[in-house]
Structure 1
Amino acid sequence: MGYKPLCFGLTCILFAYYIYTPMPENIEEPWKATILEKTGIKRFDELFSIIIKLDYTQPISDENVTVMDTTFSDIPVRLYLPKRKRESQRPAVIFIHGGAFVLGSYSDSSGGTLAAGVTQLIQNDPELKHKLKAQALIYPGLQVVDLSLPSHRENEHGPLLSWKLAIKLACLYLTQDKVLPQAMMKNQHMPHGSMQLFKLVNWSTFLPEEYKKSHVYTEPILGRLNPSYSILLDSRLSPLAVNDSQLQNLPLTYILTCQHDILRDDGLMYVSRLQNVGVKVSHDHMEDGIHGALSFMASPIYLKLGIRIKDKYINWLEENL
């Protein structure tokens, strides 16, 4: 088949997908989101494998910055070191990438989970003298205690990241057992002895009124999963599900949430809980936002939304570090 007929055929298919796929009305560049939706969800493993290879860049230095790859305790990291000396100390940013704990080097939600968990551990450890000045969380996933939040229901089928796909990917981080994702989809995965966590992630308490709408709160069901996974009680997996005393010592915080994102309410509730204990929080909410937009800022598909998110995030860092 020739190149032009092939391109025409693909264009027709994508156009048909765009027409017959329901998308939220206020999403910017919806045809691009549709392409990502159809390729990303249906064949996410192959798609991300290709993108990982295409996205990789060599650590190339220039006259201003030395770029090098190394490891910290066997974890691969890339360092960007300014060449120009300064009399005062420079601020440093530690970027933890996303990718649902299992994919690539993207800025999806798991990076926010890990950043929030690490920040809690550092700030609450009396033996660590050096603390973090700030934390910035981009559409973070912050709890696995209750998987029936309003944002889960409203955005169950995407765009880009569906509720079922998110559960399946997250479970790959924990186990190969297929029983766990099935229990999570029924919101019956939490083990006995975890009821005290429910009040810490209760959306009917911590979610702003405009996001509750007509949804009715239903408490998760305990103890239906056999075997029981004790890791589901680990605060590093659910930074939102910790007591107020563990939140009070947290540093200046930036949180960005997206309206059309299954993880929207995790971030919104974290904003409320941090503000309730006196932590200074800056919050940007993208009314036309979708999950993962920050990962698509270059060709062949780039979203202007991703550029806007990046600009807000970088501006906040420049003003507060």
Structure 2
Amino acid sequence: MRTNRTILLLFAAITAYYVYLPIPGQVEEKWKLMITDSFFRSLSHLADLCELLGLKDYMGVMMFITVMEKVAPVTDERVQVTEEVFDGVDVVVYEPGQRQVGAGELRRAVIYLHGGGWCLGSSRMEPYDLLARTTVSELNAVVISVEYRLAPEHPFPAPFEDVYRGVKYFLQEHVLAHYSVDPARIAVSGDSAGGNLAAAVAQKLQQDPEQLVALKAQALLYPVLQVLDLNTPSYQQNQDMPILPRTLMVRFWSQYFTSDKTLFHAMMTNSHNSAKSAQLLKFVNWSSYLPESFQGAYRYNAPSLGAAAAEMDNGEEGPSSRPLFPFQAITDPRASPLLAPEGCLRPLPKAYILTCEYDVLRDDGVMYATRLQKAGVNVTHRHYGAGFHGALMFTVWPTEFQIAHRMTADYIAWLRENL
């Protein structure tokens, strides 16, 4: 009996030690977040072990999250759901049930791009399905959720190209007419890596001379926007925070470009810049673009030029049909929208940018908001002092957080007023 009790106490102590994280006091529902994060960490450790043993690659194991969260996109009494193909790209289309629109009346539309570090995620995951249904019901809008190909099997620029191709198809006048969409009331939106793709799409569209229909708005939810400096104050402050520790974000970035571990190791030490990328560091200089309240006690040091980056930067560029070489790809605004010059930012549509204090990506969003405002773009920056990365997706029990519902309500309210 005493032995069993000792084993039980020991197991409880080990479990508590594993689950516990020193989460800042401002974060709400801390224990729920610790327990939620312990699942992600356990899966990450299993993924590391499987990759080490040669059983399965890291992202292949982590894909369990996507599979576990998938639901069948079905029509209900309020929302009509169909699965379509837009120019070779799978999309899920959400419309108001029974086409709740009067004769000649047109509706808003939101093109939504899911997150997941370009390597995970799906528009068919339950949180995205619920967000799409909420958007449709609250705004009487059409939502287009794009199912783009994922890295590392399909590295950059494949995910961007999928999204851009799908968006261009939808923005054709006859397609908009088919879905009763007002061409003057269309937004692109996305969270995390989806926010990255949304920002890149918005930039690319306004540079396309053949594009007749323009976006009215862009809504970027804790977006990832640059890869040149992975040591900003938010990367340093939140390197061990749930749900996106620095190591995982660096892994996402490196695998977006290549499966070569050389890039991952260079990024971990923030020494992945080359002579070609160094000249663009001015666009991500957080000492210039971060308000002092976000800089804290951190001091700016420009990322160094790593030996590996310098060596690989001297390599020959492959045929244009192949993916861009990693150290050239990191300077591409389609991967890092924050690198776009002011002239490319000035014509962009009004923006909603959501950032969270306890998120390695916080400073990306803050800097982009600053640069857009300086370029004359109408920007609403909504910062959550108690927020953490991915919070918007936690709306269903047992991983339901009150902050997720507030974020959703604020996001919908902005779209209602600005779209």
Taking the TM superposition and a 5 Å limit, the aligned residue runs for 1:77-96 are 77-82=91-96, 83-86=99-102, 87-96=104-113
Pair 1:206–1:137, CA change in 2 (3 A): same
State whether structure 2 residue 70 is matched by structure 1 residue 68.
Answer: no
Would you say how many aligned residue pairs link Structure 1 and Structure 2? 315
Q: Which amino acid aligns with 1:70?
A: E
User: Matched residues in 2 for 1:36 and 1:198: separation?
Assistant: 36
Decide which structure has greater helix share. Answer: 2
Displacement after TM superposition at 1:75 (Å)? 2.4
Are the aligned partners of 2:289 and 2:371 in contact in 1 as well (CA < 8 Å)?
A: yes
Displacement after TM superposition at 1:13 (Å)? 5.7
Q: Which residue of 2 aligns with 1:136?
A: 219
Provide TM-score, normalisation by structure 1: 0.91
Displacement after TM superposition at 1:63 (Å)? 4.0
Structure showing greater radius of gyration is 2
User: Matched residues in 1 for 2:413 and 2:13: separation?
Assistant: 40
Q: Which residue of 2 aligns with 1:266?
A: 364
User: Matched residues in 2 for 1:173 and 1:319: separation?
Assistant: 35
User: Matched residues in 1 for 2:289 and 2:401: separation?
Assistant: 31
State whether structure 2 residue 114 is matched by structure 1 residue 97.
Answer: yes
Displacement after TM superposition at 1:41 (Å)? 2.9
Are the aligned partners of 2:227 and 2:253 in contact in 1 as well (CA < 8 Å)?
A: no
SS at match of 1:258: strand
Provide TM-score, normalisation by structure 2: 0.71
Taking the TM superposition and a 5 Å limit, the aligned residue runs for 1:92-171 are 92-105=109-122, 109-171=192-254
User: Matched residues in 1 for 2:339 and 2:198: separation?
Assistant: 15
User: Matched residues in 2 for 1:271 and 1:255: separation?
Assistant: 7
Q: Is 240-249 or 193-202 further displaced after alignment?
A: 193-202
Q: Which amino acid aligns with 1:23?
A: I
Q: Aligned match of 2:312 in 211, 227, 249?
A: 227
SS at match of 2:213: coil
Are the aligned partners of 1:110 and 1:141 in contact in 2 as well (CA < 8 Å)?
A: yes
State whether structure 2 residue 382 is matched by structure 1 residue 297.
Answer: no
Q: Which amino acid aligns with 1:118?
A: V
Any unmatched runs of 5+ in structure 2?
A: 48-59, 123-127, 129-189, 314-326
Displacement after TM superposition at 1:96 (Å)? 0.3
Displacement after TM superposition at 1:110 (Å)? 0.1
Q: Aligned match of 2:352 in 238, 251, 254?
A: 254
Pair 1:28–1:10, CA change in 2 (3 A): farther
Pair 1:31–1:197, CA change in 2 (3 A): same
Q: Which residue of 1 aligns with 2:145?
A: none
Q: Is 226-235 or 201-210 further displaced after alignment?
A: 226-235
Are the aligned partners of 1:100 and 1:108 in contact in 2 as well (CA < 8 Å)?
A: no
User: Matched residues in 2 for 1:8 and 1:100: separation?
Assistant: 38
Displacement after TM superposition at 1:65 (Å)? 3.0
Are the aligned partners of 2:357 and 2:383 in contact in 1 as well (CA < 8 Å)?
A: yes
User: Matched residues in 1 for 2:230 and 2:378: separation?
Assistant: 27
User: Matched residues in 2 for 1:165 and 1:36: separation?
Assistant: 16
Are the aligned partners of 2:254 and 2:267 in contact in 1 as well (CA < 8 Å)?
A: no
Are the aligned partners of 1:197 and 1:242 in contact in 2 as well (CA < 8 Å)?
A: no
Q: Aligned match of 1:285 in 360, 363, 383?
A: 383
User: Matched residues in 1 for 2:358 and 2:77: separation?
Assistant: 41
Q: Which residue of 1 aligns with 2:43?
A: 43
User: Matched residues in 2 for 1:126 and 1:164: separation?
Assistant: 40
Displacement after TM superposition at 1:294 (Å)? 1.3
Displacement after TM superposition at 1:24 (Å)? 0.9
Q: Is 259-268 or 189-198 further displaced after alignment?
A: 189-198
Q: Which residue of 2 aligns with 1:209?
A: 292
Q: Aligned match of 1:59 in 66, 73, 97?
A: 73
Deviation track 1:139-172 (CA, whole Å, cap 9, x = no partner) reads: 0000001111000100011122110111112211
Are the aligned partners of 1:108 and 1:295 in contact in 2 as well (CA < 8 Å)?
A: no
Taking the TM superposition and a 5 Å limit, the aligned residue runs for 1:230-249 are 230-249=328-347
Q: Is 214-223 or 139-148 further displaced after alignment?
A: 214-223
Q: Is 107-116 or 283-292 further displaced after alignment?
A: 107-116
Any unmatched runs of 5+ in structure 1?
A: none
Deviation track 1:78-136 (CA, whole Å, cap 9, x = no partner) reads: 00123123323211000000000011226651000000000000122222111100000
- Structure number with the bigger relative contact order (C-alpha 8 A, sep ≥ 6) is 1
User: Matched residues in 2 for 1:249 and 1:310: separation?
Assistant: 27
User: Matched residues in 2 for 1:202 and 1:97: separation?
Assistant: 28
| Percent identity over paired residues | 42
Displacement after TM superposition at 1:301 (Å)? 1.4
